């Protein structure tokens, strides 16, 4: 009797130990602070990046983000997933700034050297995105994401001696998630002529046999963007294209992820399209696509999840842009019923 009790106790304790380690190593949702290491923003409009390396023998699922922007000094924060970070320093200057700017004492580099997926965006004065239930970003082993890089935009220089540790708390688990998140970037290259209104357009077909569930979108341009719109284009049996608006906004509003307008699943054979309406009426020079504030960008991000599947292999949907590419000239995607007016007007 006594012996039984001992065995029972023993097995019970083994059970607890197992449960305990299982919880600790596997499926518990943990919190990782990805914060600026007490940085001192010495000049206005400084973008600082800091990286974290993901251990290479494990796969993690990021299931939530908790912004920790102290004292409201951060204008925006972006989280990038990269193959390699832009720099091997603890912090670097990762702004889209004029090349002539020699002010900074920090090394200049882009957030990512390769990879470059925007996983999360936070902007002051805007409500932050929460991932839908059971949705996670897969990072680490078996993914292209070996590093996470946090970018914080500081608008004002700090008083001497004052530092900041704004950043994000990443909620993560090792438990595989049934819905994996991905981001598809619709982007446009090209040149914008002076004193004009220019459309920058892109379109591409989903050529992977997956069903993707879009849930958020983000727009990005520099200074010339007035309207950015994105669409799913489906063709009916009669050959007519139906354009459903996924998102549209003034890109000068905070550049975060916003809820998608239409969450109808996107399937094999559907096409995606985006347009940026650029206004250079006050500019006397040509503007190229590039990373600095003298250049422009035209980006429409679609954040989505797939059920019991891996995200799209395709991460980008890009065209050469103006003056060579236009929706109307796209023979490959053969678009009809182009919503010319709707795509360029804000409601």
Shortest distance in whole angstroms from residue 153 CB to Cu ion: 3
Beta bridge partners of 241: 235
Of 36, 97, 153, 213, the catalytic one is 153
Contact window for Cu ion (CB under 5 A) among 91-99, 101-109, 132-140, 318-326: 91-99
* 76 versus 117: smaller Cβ distance to Cu ion: 76
Which residues, at least 6 apart from 158, have a Cβ–Cβ distance to it below 8 Å? 40, 41, 42, 73, 164
Of 76, 77, 138, 146, the catalytic one is 76
Burial class (CB in 10 A: 0-12, 13-18, 19+), 265: middle
232 binds Cu ion (CB under 5 A): no
* 96 versus 208: smaller Cβ distance to Cu ion: 96
Shortest distance in whole angstroms from residue 322 CB to Cu ion: 17
* 47 versus 231: smaller Cβ distance to Cu ion: 47
* 46 versus 303: smaller Cβ distance to Cu ion: 46
Among candidates 141, 131, 140, which has minimal Cα distance to 171? 131
Measured CA to CA in angstroms, residue 113 lies from 84, 109, 304, 331 at distances of 5, 8, 24, 34
297 binds Cu ion (CB under 5 A): yes
Shortest distance in whole angstroms from residue 220 CB to Cu ion: 6
d(CA 249, CA 228): 6
Count of CB atoms within 10 A of residue 261's CB? 15
Shortest distance in whole angstroms from residue 74 CB to Cu ion: 8
* 76 versus 213: smaller Cβ distance to Cu ion: 76
Which residues, at least 6 apart from 9, have a Cβ–Cβ distance to it below 8 Å? none
Which residues, at least 6 apart from 39, have a Cβ–Cβ distance to it below 8 Å? 48, 50, 91, 152, 163, 164, 165
- 76 flagged as catalytic: yes
Contact window for Cu ion (CB under 5 A) among 136-144, 150-158, 228-236, 263-271: 150-158
Considering only residues 153, 210, 248, 275, which one is a binding residue for Cu ion as defined by CB under 5 A? 153
Work out whether the CA dihedral 278, 284, 286, 292 comes out positive or negative: negative
- Name the strand (E) or helix (H) holding 334: none
Q: Which two tokens stand for residue 57?
A: 């023998």
Shortest distance in whole angstroms from residue 47 CB to Cu ion: 8
Of 222, 255, 256, 303, the catalytic one is 222
- 72 flagged as catalytic: no
* Contact indicator for 219, 251 with CB cutoff of 8 Å: yes
Of 77, 117, 177, 220, the catalytic one is 220
* 152 versus 203: smaller Cβ distance to Cu ion: 152
Number of residues that make up the chain: 347
Question: Nearest-5° angle of CA 111, CA 105, CA 68?
Answer: 50
Q: How many residues bind Cu ion (CB under 5 A)?
A: 5
Contact window for Cu ion (CB under 5 A) among 96-104, 135-143, 161-169, 196-204: 96-104
* Contact indicator for 31, 135 with CB cutoff of 8 Å: no
Shortest distance in whole angstroms from residue 256 CB to Cu ion: 10
- 151 flagged as catalytic: yes
- 197 flagged as catalytic: no
Shortest distance in whole angstroms from residue 76 CB to Cu ion: 3
Residue 18, classed as helix, strand or coil, is helix
Work out whether the CA dihedral 263, 264, 267, 272 comes out positive or negative: negative
* 96 versus 270: smaller Cβ distance to Cu ion: 96
Site string for Cu ion, 59-88 (x = CB under 5 A): ----------------xx------------
Q: Which residues are catalytic?
A: 75-76, 151, 153, 220, 222, 297
Q: Which residues bind Cu ion (CB under 5 A)?
A: 75-76, 96, 153, 297
């Amino acid at each position: 009797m006594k012996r039984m009790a001992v065995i029972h106790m023993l097995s019970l304790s083994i059970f607890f130990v197992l449960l305990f380690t299982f919880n600790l190593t596997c499926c518990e949702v943990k919190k990782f602070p990805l914060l600026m290491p007490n940085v001192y923003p010495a000049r206005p409009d400084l973008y600082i990046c800091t990286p974290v390396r993901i251990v290479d023998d494990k796969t993690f699922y990021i299931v939530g983000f908790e912004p920790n922007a102290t004292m409201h000094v951060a204008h925006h924060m972006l989280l990038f997933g990269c193959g390699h970070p832009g720099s091997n320093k603890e912090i670097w200057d990762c702004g889209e700034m004029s090349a002539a700017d020699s002010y900074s004492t920090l090394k200049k580099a882009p957030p990512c050297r390769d990879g470059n997926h925007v996983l999360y965006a936070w902007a002051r004065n805007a409500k932050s995105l929460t991932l839908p239930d059971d949705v996670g970003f897969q990072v680490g082993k078996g993914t292209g994401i070996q590093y996470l890089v946090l970018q914080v935009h500081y608008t004002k220089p700090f008083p001497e001696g004052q530092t900041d540790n704004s950043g994000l708390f990443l909620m993560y688990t090792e438990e595989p998630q049934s819905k994996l998140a991905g981001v598809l970037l619709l982007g446009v290259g090209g040149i914008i002529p002076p004193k004009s209104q220019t459309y920058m357009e892109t379109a591409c077909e989903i050529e992977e046999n997956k069903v993707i569930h879009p849930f958020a979108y983000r727009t990005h341009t520099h200074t010339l963007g007035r309207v950015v719109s994105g669409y799913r284009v489906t063709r009916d049996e009669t050959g007519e294209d139906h354009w459903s608006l996924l998102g549209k906004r003034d890109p000068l509003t905070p550049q975060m992820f916003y809820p998608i307008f239409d969450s109808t699943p996107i399937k094999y054979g559907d096409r995606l399209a985006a347009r940026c309406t650029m206004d250079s009426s006050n500019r006397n020079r040509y503007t190229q696509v590039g990373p600095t504030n003298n250049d422009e960008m035209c980006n429409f991000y679609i954040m989505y999840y797939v059920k019991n599947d891996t995200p799209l292999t395709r991460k980008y949907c890009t065209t050469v842009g103006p003056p060579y590419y236009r929706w109307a000239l796209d023979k490959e995607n053969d678009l009809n019923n182009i919503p010319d007016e709707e795509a360029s007007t804000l409601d």
